[in-house]
Amino acid sequence: MGTTTGPGDGTELRGRLVTLRPVRPEDAVALRELRASAKVARWWDPPEDPDWPCEEGGSSTRLTVLEDGALVGLAQWWAEEAPQYRHAGIDLFLDPRVHGRGLGTDTVRTLARHLFEHVGHHRVVIDPAAANAAAVRCYEKVGFRRVGVMRRYERNPGTDSWRDGMLMDLLPEDLTAAPDD
Ligand SMILES: CC(C)(COP(=O)(O)OP(=O)(O)OC[C@H]1O[C@@H](n2cnc3c(N)ncnc32)[C@H](O)[C@@H]1OP(=O)(O)O)[C@@H](O)C(=O)NCCC(=O)NCCS
């Protein structure tokens, strides 16, 4: 990753395959369409706010993921700022047309590295559904470790039923290198 500052100050994060930059209003329609696509909506429930992803006062920092300048997804992070428990959490989705090519791994690695190196976090968490094998695999490739299964952690989107979540965490020393590093 070649950039030393990051979103929040309007600059970009560059990975090996992707670039992350702050979400712009003109990204909203495409991001909402991607979020509603079947392979994403299975894991991301519909947004509650009609202005998502550009609503006022959100607690997450949202970044548009680009490949060769084309919008391919969204990554976001939030922070627990209580000094005793300070850490960050991340989440993402990518266009199903680009799944399985390493872009998710590159996105997560790029964002995690930014959170460690430039935002000063010492621990990053992520909490995919336990059944989301592609996501768990992707995060393990970055170096995340499985902390444990959170039983009946979240609703299956659009239903009253619950599903298990997988809490995973990453420390700076766990972060795996990108192939070209
Ligand atoms: C999860 C997600 C971000 C991963 O991005 P991606 O670009 O597809 O990820 P990568 O290509 O870097 O890695 C995916 C890995 O999972 C593997 N994989 C894919 N489907 C799998 C499955 N059903 N079981 C096990 N592994 C699987 C791939 O083979 C790859 O591993 P490999 O490189 O060892 O072969 C993307 O699939 C996505 O947006 N999914 C829909 C939304 C979502 O689930 N978001 C995460 C919510 S926590």
Look at 8-12, 124-128, 139-143, 163-167 and tell me which has the smallest mean pLDDT.
8-12
* Cα separations in angstroms, 84 against 50, 87, 149: 35, 9, 24
Q: Does residue 128 line the site of ligand 1, with CB under 6 A? A: yes
What is the average per-residue pLDDT within 100-106? 98
Rounded to two decimals, what is the model's pTM?
Answer: 0.96
For ligand 1, atom 24: residue with the closest CA: 133
The domains of the chain are located at 13-174
Note the residue count of the chain.
Answer: 181
Q: Does residue 36 line the site of ligand 1, with CB under 6 A? A: no
For the domain made up of 13-174, the CATH class stated in words is alpha beta
Contact by Cβ (8 Å): 104, 128: no
Give the tens place of pLDDT for each residue, 23-53: 999 999 999 999 999 999 999 999 989 999 9
Give the tens place of pLDDT for each residue, 153-173: 999 998 999 999 999 999 999
pLDDT at residue number 2:
42
Mean pLDDT of all residues belonging to the chain? 94
DSSP label of 129: B
pLDDT above 70 coverage of the chain, percent: 94
What is the average per-residue pLDDT within 80-105? 98
pLDDT at residue number 45:
92
> Ligand 1, from 99, 126, 154: best to mutate by most atoms within 8 Å of Cβ?
99
User: pLDDT tier at 4 (50, 70, 90 boundaries)?
Assistant: very low
CB atoms within 10 A of CB 85: 8
Tokens 């990753």 correspond to 1
Q: Does residue 97 line the site of ligand 1, with CB under 6 A? A: no
The residue type found at 163 is R
User: pLDDT tier at 20 (50, 70, 90 boundaries)?
Assistant: very high
Give the tens place of pLDDT for each residue, 104-138: 999 999 999 999 999 999 999 999 999 999 999 99
